[in-house]
Amino acid sequence: MGLFLRLPFSLRVPLMTAVLMVLVGIFASQQVLRAIGSVQDERIRELAQLQVEALSVALGPQVQRKDVWEIYDTLDRSTRRTEKGRLTFTVVADQNGRVLAATDPKKAPVDSLLKGLTVNVQSLENLSVSGSEPLIRLLADLIYQNRPVGQILIEMSVADLISERRQAAWILILGNAIVIGGLALLGYLGIRRMLLPITSLVERMRESSTMPTPIPENDLPKGDTEMSRLMHSYNSMANAVEAKAEANQRLADRERFVSLGRLSSSLAHEINNPLGGMLNAADTIQKYADRPDVVRNSADLLTRGLGHLRDVARATLDQNRVDRTGSALTLEDFDDLHLLIGPEVSRRAQTLEWAINVDDKMLADLVAGPVRQVALNLLLNATEAAGDKGQITLDVDIEGTTLRLRIANSGPELSKAARERLLGSGPVPPGGGVGLRLVHDLINEMAGTVKAHHRDGMTEIEVILPLTDKKIAAKC
């Protein structure tokens, strides 16, 4: 049974059809053989009945007189007149079971007991050609003038009937084998052809396990059949999945750029401030080129300003790449986030609590890009929700076998749309915060979980990301 279940569906159905055909053929053959047997039994029963009735009429007076020679002569003439080779042996006995005469006196001597010859005898009503025995025996009463005057035992040859039945059985077996074999082959080819679209569909789904691809129009079944509707439904589903994936990608890209756009105004101030100092330093160098101490101080100012601009540019470029397979997460990534979010916090005069209670060894199990994007989007939403002079908190720590990021703000509880974007998987509702659905998708890709609640006047979002055991050992 296990081997059968491992066969392809397109092979199992034809095989089951062939088995059903074989069972139907066996049942039909049994019915035909039973009908042949019934005809043969009726035929042999009629012959036996005629023989018994004829002998009863001819032998009645002779049995009453116990005229052995007359009985024998009658039996001999009766045997010659019946169907050739059918009657092989006949015995007539009196009412006490004593043999009066037989066609073969050596086999049944006169005055011997008939009882010794009655093994496996049948009655006239139940006479049947059964089994493979070539001879059957019939024991019947010899009726004369409506009363029994003796007994008749007739032995009949049925070898021809058995041969006829055996020949019919072989013809049925061979005929059924040929017919069933031909029908099974035609059924296999027909069903396999009918199931070909399903086989093609299974192969298509197996080859495109991550993203289903539509089946070409040329390969679709013609007409308005169940197979055709199934294939068109699959194509509709594949197109819908592809459209959804493209929409999600566009949404992710748009929300990532929206988050970066929100940073641009703050980063402009962050860049303009050192630029003003650097321009003053350059002007000072030009005016006081003959004074080494002034030139040296101005050059130091230029170096610090350029270094700050370099850090801002690098952090912005790194944030613009959500690399899911790139470098490992490090403490430097959190420093970049602090640098990126700092101008927004300063502009709003907010309080930022920044607690990173991990080291590089603990973080090496995670990819930097997705974690950076998740943290930045949540921090941007936190600064927006907290408002001017609000409070923002980032807490990063290890709990058990997971990395926990807790971003809290002093603003109101998440709206229904924001919760649906962050925690749900359905269609993205309008409004509800920048990049929250992107946060949801990135956390799912990292096999993590996200929770949101409001307590003690703070709205807190907790992100839990799994780590391997060796990373936990590093903390110990």
**Digit-coded pLDDT (tens) for 310-320:** 666 655 555 55
**Structural domain containing residue 294:** 266-320
What percentage of the chain exceeds 70 in pLDDT? 75
Last residue of a domain, one of 127, 152, 168: 168
Say whether pTM exceeds 0.75. Answer: no
User: Do 332 and 461 fall into the same domain?
Assistant: yes
Q: Does residue 470 or residue 425 have the better pLDDT? A: 425
Say if residue 296 is in the same domain as residue 400.
no
Q: Is residue 473 one of the residues assigned to a domain?
A: yes
> Given this model, what pLDDT does residue 470 score?
40
Determine whether 310 is exposed, middle or buried from the number of CB atoms within 10 Å of its CB (0-12, 13-18, 19+): exposed
pLDDT in tens, 429-458: 665 555 788 788 889 888 899 999 998 889
**Which domain-ending residue is among 149, 168, 187?**
168
Whole-angstrom distance, CA of residue 97 vs CA of residue 153:
11
Most confident of 94-103, 270-279, 298-307: 94-103
Sign of torsion over alpha carbons 315, 317, 320, 325: negative
pLDDT tier for residue 274 given thresholds of 50, 70 and 90: low
Provide φ and ψ at 122, rounded to 5°: -125, 160
Residue 207, in any domain of the structure: no
- What's the pLDDT at 128? 87
Query: 329 pLDDT exceeds 90?
Result: no
> Are 164 and 277 in a shared domain?
no
Asked which of 142, 168, 194 is the last residue of a domain, the reply is 168
**How many Å apart are CA 98 and CA 111, to the nearest integer?**
5
The answer to whether 420 touches 429, Cβ cutoff 8 Å, is yes
**Whether 403 and 454 share a structural domain:** yes
> Is 80 exceeded by the pLDDT of residue 21?
no
Give residue-wise pLDDT tens across range 173-220.
Answer: 888 888 877 877 787 777 777 777 777 777 777 766 566 777 666 766
Name the phi and psi angles at 426, rounded to 5: -80, -170
Number of domains in the chain: 3
Instruction: Mark whether 41 and 91 lie in a shared domain.
Output: yes
